[in-house]
Structure 1
């Protein structure tokens, strides 16, 4: 609900006819690929990479990336901008409050190891 309010056109519709023609190891993930194809997405960000094999995505010009790899690449594009956004996130936290270092530690604990290393450098 909050995402719908925050980002215009965030909901993907009309992807359902694609689901039946897609093949993935977990049929329950086909809707994700179908939605990506429908909107022309280049990347599916997931930590469930085994269920989105490159060979199955390549035909649709889509790739899968882990959250850490995706965010690390974003940091590489413009580290100052990403760090300023991390600072804004830290400043907005109050349950519990966190400074940037605490937030980065928490993100690292969630598996964003390369991203956090890049932001700390």
Structure 2
């Protein structure tokens, strides 16, 4: 479908939120875009997930985080970007030097977008020179759904139906998205709530 022409590298900060992650993975599974990440991104995601679980009092937080990452890598084995270390030899001068690996992986895989919540860490002028853009998960998801709503809505409905603890109806799901800051996504989906 669309995956043949658009590649998005997803940063750890967009993978930590369960709702952002579920929506991104559901749309990637439906072949709206080619999903990419690196081992560094997955390691950061795993650490952040483990920390969240521990903060919530889950003693098995490390195991839960490992399980989530294992499920992601099993579902999307083609998403892994590697062999980009040579691109790190010439830093780009990002506001946060620890984000250099994100751009290096995006360049290596010829991504068109970096999906991240840290937009200010990826200056548009610098990314433009690399034919990249940075988008928040909310912007990216909303635009992806709007691209072909007739195909995206069933993918999101399937995602909702997979939820077991707790099960959710469409209005519950949209409220959860909104509570987690996915305002643009909710705006696009509200008109389709009867089909989700």
Quick check: TM above 0.5?
Answer: yes
Conservation of the 8 A alpha-carbon contact between 1:23 and 1:56: no
SS of corresponding position for 2:134: strand
Determine which of 135, 140, 143 is the counterpart of 1:73. Answer: 143
- Please name the residue that 1:18 is paired with: 87
Answering whether residue 68 of structure 2 is matched by residue 3 of structure 1, we say no
Determine which of 44, 47, 50 is the counterpart of 2:114. Answer: 44
Question: How far apart, in 2, do the equivalents of 1:25 and 1:38 lie?
Answer: 21
Runs of 5+ unmatched residues, structure 2: 1-69, 192-196
SS of corresponding position for 1:108: helix
* Aligned alpha-carbon RMSD (Å): 1.1
SS of corresponding position for 2:175: helix
Q: Output aligned runs, 1:26-105, within 5 Å.
A: 26-105=96-175
Question: How far apart, in 2, do the equivalents of 1:79 and 1:25 lie?
Answer: 36
Runs of 4+ in 1 over 3 A off after TM superposition: none
Determine which of 158, 177, 187 is the counterpart of 1:117. Answer: 187
Higher relative CO (Cα under 8 Å, sequence separation at least 6) belongs to: 2
Question: How far apart, in 1, do the equivalents of 2:169 and 2:182 lie?
Answer: 17
SS of corresponding position for 1:25: coil
Q: TM-score, with normalisation over the residues of structure 1?
A: 0.93
